[in-house]
Amino acid sequence: MNKQFVNLQSNRWPEINDLIESCRRGDQRAQLQVYKLYYKPLYNLCLQIISEKSKAEDLMQESFLLAFENIHSYNGNLEFYSWLVNHIKYAYRYGKTAK
């Protein structure tokens, strides 16, 4: 399997579950890997929500921080990508990012 390719809609990719567990233990390298895996699709989503690039970047950053702070609550009921998207929605509604 090409490790550069990740089907973002699938938790079957075994390494993502290992990364999530490492993130739960506070492993910053794992957080960076998760960030690198999901950066582009989440940034593009943020750009659809807020068309200004700098504000979209702020929203994405705020969402990742929120997700990593709450990584212990991820239980696998949602695809991990969907769980991250929920953090974007929450950050957009209640966060500091100007709309």
76: left (phi over 0), alpha (psi -120 to 50) or beta: left
DSSP helix/strand/coil, 53: helix
The mean of the pLDDT values for the chain is: 86
The 10s digit of each residue's pLDDT in 1-44 is: 334 444 554 544 568 899 999 999 999 999 999 999 999 999 99
d(CA 97, CA 99): 6
Token representation of residue 60:
């994405």
Domain boundaries, the chain: 39-94
Q: What is the pLDDT of residue 32?
A: 95
3-state helix, strand, coil split of the chain in percent (to 5) is 70, 0, 30
Total-model pTM: 0.80
- Taking a C-beta distance cutoff of 8 angstroms, is the pair 88, 48 a contact? no
